[in-house]
Amino acid sequence: MFARLVSAMILVAGCMSVVGCTRAAKLEVTRSYDVSPGEAQAIELDPQPKPQKITVDFKSADGDVLVLLFKEADAKGEDGLLSSDPKKALGQKKGKADSFTADVPENTATRIVVREAQKKTKVELKVTNKK
């Protein structure tokens, strides 16, 4: 009886570890930033072992902003926040409130950049990888 119980526990633990290794980490990040003209703010996301579909929702209190999702290599450092080429973005939207989804390759660190505010505004961001 005890041997069966131990065997069953080992089997369940083994199955859980296999399932855990194949699932991507759950992503749910909510941030709020004050962004002024000529400034940028960013969220850095760690690389994941599997491809991800990232959804970015944003809302600006006082005007349009540009929100972009870059591979970290395409928007490096402080200079990359303002000078990175929007054509290299995995996804982007401009507006007062909107949402976009982008595919991120496996093992790719990313940055979500908020910039191009016309006047000082508070920006709410929500980032998920839920389907």
Residue 15 in 3-state DSSP?
helix
- Tell me the whole-structure pTM to 2 decimals: 0.80
Percent of the chain clearing pLDDT 90 (strictly above):
73
Residues 6+ apart with CB under 8 A from 51: 103, 104, 105, 106
* Strand partners of residue 71: 110
Q: Calculate mean pLDDT across residues 6-20.
A: 46
**What are the structural domains of the chain?**
27-128 (2.60.120.680)
State pLDDT tens for residues 54-92. 999 999 999 999 999 999 999 998 888 999 999 999 999
CB 83 within 8 A of CB 123: no
State pLDDT tens for residues 20-34. 444 557 889 999 999
**Cα dihedral sign, 4-7-8-9:** positive
CB 97 within 8 A of CB 15: no
